Structure 1
Amino acid sequence: MTAADDGAGAGAGREPLDADRVKHLEFIQATIARLGTNSFLVKGWALTLAAGFLALSASQRSWAVAGAGIVPLLCFWFLDGHFLRQERLYRRLYDAARRPGSTVEVLSMDVRPFRPQMPLRRAVLSDTLALFHGALLAADLVFMAVWS
């Protein structure tokens, strides 16, 4: 029995990827993982900073302190959206590079061809980011309203 005879498994009938293509996919996957980690860290900083501003606002009963927390919160939201967009772009590059007969240049990390498909606004206003950062923004606005 040859390997071709037991070709019922996954990938049967497909030509194997060469070593350079596999290394390319590993590079792209490592970039996607780093972007996911960066997004996680940004969320942690945003939550910590928002909690700090809200605690300080409550202790001083100051709407100005609560309002000051809005600017960094919006910056973190934008930065998180940027990381999400980049992650999605690299996922599209990965998907294009993994296909047999791909026209993606081997070892290229250029995601510019995919940018029109993923505008920054769409990533920033994604459901997950809007729920997370929007909740922090809403809490900040409530504190501003209570102390004004």
Structure 2
Amino acid sequence: MTQAQCPFCAIINGEDPSARVVYQDQNVTAFFPLVPATRGHTLVVPNRHVVEHADLTAAESRQLGESVRRAARGVRAAVSPDGMNIIQSTGAAATQTVPHVHFHVVPRWHHDRVELRWPDTEAEGQVEQDATLELVRSVLPGPSEDVSPEDRRQHLSFIQAVVTRMSQASSSSKSWLLPIVTITYGYAVTKEQLWVAMLGIAAVAIFGLLDANYLKQERAFRKLYDKVAAGGDIPSFSLNPALAGPAGSKINYWPDWEDIRSWAVAPIYGPLLVVGVSIAIWAHCR
């Protein structure tokens, strides 16, 4: 679901006249869900479209946490429940139906219609729990640091330098490919050599994949740049673009289809491949 299709974004932008908005500021919006589970059931969401809770910036997380506390206090004062659930679900497996981070503030009464059950048995044995404990500890991010503006500017300059290198490498690959294609395709035509045409086609494919990879890395570092600029939870001076992706993501150096068919790759390498294949077919028929 894109931001344009998100029903929560429609409420945030004032595009849903039926929405019952509890309050809204420049960072957070609170409103009643379409089908409240109990009286006073309230959703609290960040105004920025964020799919997973782990992808919130540190500032957004603090703003959202304070707004959830504020909503809970207001709901408690308004409807005087016997208890309250504060629920945040991420992913379809955790029953998230709208891919926009949200907290449920659910007032509870004895014998109400809401059922929340936890399993009676443990999910792992003692040995497995110890192993999981060590794994979680090993990847748990450290406390957020108060980064000085100068350090952030320097961090951004490092990331921008990588983006610039990726862009220059992309231009260089195109510059190197042009004489190779000219020589191989030209020789294949004048000498009617199929294998030389195939060599040119292979060069175009290799340089195309290389260029698509440069584009992929450039996009990844641009996302890292944006997250650092927004004050996200990125360790100081880190150049790991995976930290700007979804939680648990890893660096993948193989270009995606989106990178291959981009305007910077497909319109350039695609015609060269077509020309090479045409020359190869012509040379073979001769």
Please tell me the TM-score bracket, short chain as reference.
Answer: 0.7 to 0.9
Alignment of 1:87-98 (within 5 A): 87-98=218-229
CA distance in structure 2 between the aligned counterparts of 1:96 and 1:88, rounded to whole angstroms: 13
Q: Kindly tell me the number of residue pairs found equivalent between the two proteins.
A: 131
2:268 to 116, 122, 132: 132
Counterpart of 1:46? 177
Counterpart of 1:59? 190
Q: In the alignment, is residue 81 of structure 1 matched against residue 81 of structure 2?
A: no
Contact 1:85 1:120 (C-alpha < 8 Å) held by counterparts = yes
Structure 2: which 5+ runs fail to align?
1-147
Q: In the alignment, is residue 120 of structure 1 matched against residue 255 of structure 2?
A: yes
Contact 1:47 1:136 (C-alpha < 8 Å) held by counterparts = no
Q: Residue 23 of structure 1 aligns to which amino acid in structure 2?
A: Q
How big is each residue's C-alpha offset from its partner over 1:38-58, in whole Å with a ceiling of 9 and x where there is no partner?
000001112221111111111
Q: In the alignment, is residue 27 of structure 1 matched against residue 162 of structure 2?
A: no
CA distance in structure 1 between the aligned counterparts of 2:225 and 2:215, rounded to whole angstroms: 15
Q: Residue 108 of structure 1 aligns to which amino acid in structure 2?
A: S
Q: What is the TM-score of this pair, normalised by structure 2?
A: 0.43
Counterpart of 1:6? none
Measure how far apart 1:71 and its partner are.
1.5
Q: Residue 29 of structure 1 aligns to which amino acid in structure 2?
A: Q
Larger proportion of helix: 1
Q: What is the TM-score of this pair, normalised by structure 1?
A: 0.81
Q: Residue 266 of structure 2 aligns to which amino acid in structure 1?
A: A
Q: Residue 269 of structure 2 aligns to which amino acid in structure 1?
A: H
Measure how far apart 1:144 and its partner are.
1.0
CA distance in structure 1 between the aligned counterparts of 2:154 and 2:242, rounded to whole angstroms: 21
Flag as ranges the 4+ runs of structure 1 deviating above 6 A: none
CA distance in structure 2 between the aligned counterparts of 1:30 and 1:24, rounded to whole angstroms: 10
How big is each residue's C-alpha offset from its partner over 1:44-102, in whole Å with a ceiling of 9 and x where there is no partner?
11222111111111120122211121222211111101110000000000000001x42
Measure how far apart 1:124 and its partner are.
2.3
CA RMSD of aligned residues (A): 2.0
Identity %: 27
CA distance in structure 1 between the aligned counterparts of 2:210 and 2:189, rounded to whole angstroms: 27
CA distance in structure 2 between the aligned counterparts of 1:141 and 1:71, rounded to whole angstroms: 10
**1:127 partner SS:** coil
CA distance in structure 1 between the aligned counterparts of 2:232 and 2:279, rounded to whole angstroms: 53
Counterpart of 1:102? 232
Counterpart of 1:145? 281
Structure 1: which 5+ runs fail to align?
1-16
Counterpart of 2:95? none
Counterpart of 1:7? none
